[in-house]
Amino acid sequence: MSIVINHLTFAYTQGGKPLDPTLKDLTFTIEEGSFLGIIGHTGSGKSTFVKHLNGLLPCEKGTVEVDGHDLSQKSERKSVRALVGMVFQYPEYQLFAETVSEDVAFGPRNMKLDEAEVKNRVINAMTMVGLDPEIFSERSPFDLSGGERRRAAIAGVLAMHPKYLVLDEPMAGLDPLGRREILSLLEKLRTESGCTIIMISHSMDDIANHATKVLVLDQGSILMYDTPQNVFSKADELQQIGLSVPSITKICVEMNRRGVPIPVTICTEDAFLNWFREGRQHA
């Protein structure tokens, strides 16, 4: 199964009149089990696009199908929202309950699940994000650290068992440790539960290290949709639209300029070290 986007076009309105399209004829497929990184300059349509994935914004022109459910049909949106979990920027600002467990339980209770199932989902979701239920269940969300609050908010989404998890800048405002914890959690979700991850990020290094596919949006259109290696090898094209490339790619580009032939498809430290070791073995 997959998410299939077909000729999706969308324009906001002002005073009842449509503005210039924010999304322009997007057509591509998000494969089940993948990790899609979405990049683009501010105003490129990233957040607008992901809001179409569970019906928060209507499909005015074109279609979005999630496992065969067509979101242009109102009757299908409830089914899709059970499949697609959304985590927006600074999700911890949405925490409101007196305890962490009550906050995590909010979504499952809205799904009309029995209390035994709700409790089971809360325990599993908290454990999955690294918040020991015995320690954190009765604590106030507002007494947690920034990284812990972010994980508690994500646990509330995971407790609804989404098949697709959409995140808009999930590491925004976190310190390096908090960033690593969230990225490690996302990798664990994908590899252990098969959850498809769809993440907007301004960190090219995070995208290079974790994404299996990268979507580059420019002024509402698809500029590139390919593997991180192929996308970041086009450093000049990315820089022309105001985007950077991973740190390792910058090093590779500079080495080539200085006469050291190194593949420009290298965009992670592991790939760079592998290239270096292979070179030494053949020296």
For the segment 181-203, what is each residue's pLDDT rounded down to a tens digit? 889 889 988 998 889 999 999 99
Tell whether 79 is covered by a domain.
yes
Contact between 28 and 225 under an 8 Å Cβ cutoff? The reply is: yes
Contact between 201 and 168 under an 8 Å Cβ cutoff? The reply is: no
What is the distance, to the nearest Å, from the Cα of residue 265 to the centroid of all Cα atoms in its chain?
22
Tell whether 269 is covered by a domain.
no
| Domain of 133, in residue numbers | 2-228
- Listed residue (270, 161, 158) closest to 170, CA to CA: 158
For the segment 110-162, what is each residue's pLDDT rounded down to a tens digit? 889 999 999 999 999 999 888 999 999 999 998 988 888 888 999 999 999 99
Rounded to 5 degrees, φ, ψ at 15 are: 65, 30
Tell whether 254 is covered by a domain.
no
Tell whether 61 is covered by a domain.
yes
Q: Helices 115-128 and 100-110, interaxial angle, to 10°?
A: 130
Q: Say yes or no to pLDDT of 32 above 90.
A: yes
Tell whether 251 is covered by a domain.
no
CATH of the domain at 152: 3.40.50.300
Tell whether 211 is covered by a domain.
yes
Q: Say yes or no to pLDDT of 166 above 80.
A: yes
Structural domain count of the chain: 1
Tell whether 7 is covered by a domain.
yes
Tell whether 243 is covered by a domain.
no
